[in-house]
Structure 1
Amino acid sequence: MMKSLVSCLKPLILGAMLATIAAPAPLLAETVDAPVARSALQARAEALLDIAARHVAEKGEAGALDFARQSAFVDRDLYAYALRTDGVFLASGGSSAALVGDNVLDYTDTDGKAFFREMIEIARRDGQGSIEYRWFNPADSRGEPKTTLFRKVGEVIVAVGYYPPRATALEARAMLRTALRALDGGKDAALAEFQDLNGRFVRNDLYVFVVDAESGRFLAHGATPAMVGTDGFELQDPRGQYIIRQMLEIARKDGSGELDYFWRNPTTGKVESKHTLFRLSHGLLVAVGSYNR
Structure 2
Amino acid sequence: MKHLRTGLLGLAAAMVLGCGMALPASAAAADSPAPAPAKLGSIDRAKAGRASELLTAAVAYLKHNGAKEAFEAFNDRSGSFVYGPYFVYVLGTDGFMHANGGNQFSLAGHNVIDMRDAAGKPLVRDLLEAAAKSPNGAVEYRWLNPEDNRIEVKTSLYSLVDGYVVSVGYYTPRATRAEAQALLDRAVGFLKSNTPDAAFARFNNPQGDFVQDDQYVFAIGLEDGKYRASGASPQLNGMDVRGMKDAAGNPLFEEMIAVAKKSGSGTVHYVWRNPATNAVESKHTLVQRVGDVLLGVGFYTK
What TM-score comes out, normalization by structure 1 length?
0.60
Uncovered stretches (5+) of structure 1, i.e. residues with no partner: 1-36, 100-104, 119-130
Kept in 2: contact 1:48–1:75 (CA 8 A): no
The residue that corresponds to 2:298 in the other structure is 289
The residue that corresponds to 2:240 in the other structure is 231
Q: Secondary structure at the match of 1:229?
A: coil
1:134-173, Cα deviation, whole Å (9 max, x unpaired) = 2333459x996725499x9xxx997531132211111111
Q: Shift in Å at residue 68 of structure 1?
A: 8.8
The residue that corresponds to 1:62 in the other structure is 68
Kept in 2: contact 1:168–1:290 (CA 8 A): yes
Uncovered stretches (5+) of structure 2, i.e. residues with no partner: 1-42, 114-126, 146-150
The residue that corresponds to 2:182 in the other structure is 174
Which amino acid is the alignment partner of residue 98 of structure 1? V
Q: Secondary structure at the match of 1:237?
A: coil
Query: Partners in 2 of 1:251 and 1:108 — Cα distance?
Result: 46
The change in CA–CA distance for 1:229 and 1:149 in structure 2 (over 3 A counts) is: farther
1:98 to 104, 112, 137: 112
The change in CA–CA distance for 1:47 and 1:193 in structure 2 (over 3 A counts) is: farther
The residue that corresponds to 1:17 in the other structure is none
Count, aligned residues? 231
The residue that corresponds to 1:9 in the other structure is none
The change in CA–CA distance for 1:232 and 1:223 in structure 2 (over 3 A counts) is: same
The residue that corresponds to 2:20 in the other structure is none
Which amino acid is the alignment partner of residue 204 of structure 2? Q
Query: Partners in 2 of 1:69 and 1:207 — Cα distance?
Result: 37
Query: Partners in 1 of 2:263 and 2:181 — Cα distance?
Result: 17
The residue that corresponds to 1:136 in the other structure is 141
Q: Shift in Å at residue 232 of structure 1?
A: 1.5
The residue that corresponds to 1:251 in the other structure is 260
Kept in 2: contact 1:275–1:291 (CA 8 A): yes
Q: Secondary structure at the match of 1:232?
A: coil
The residue that corresponds to 2:124 in the other structure is none
Query: Partners in 1 of 2:285 and 2:169 — Cα distance?
Result: 29
Kept in 2: contact 1:212–1:284 (CA 8 A): yes
The residue that corresponds to 2:18 in the other structure is none
Aligned-residue Cα RMSD (Å) equals 4.7
As a proportion of its length, which structure holds more helix?
1
2:274 to 249, 265, 290: 265
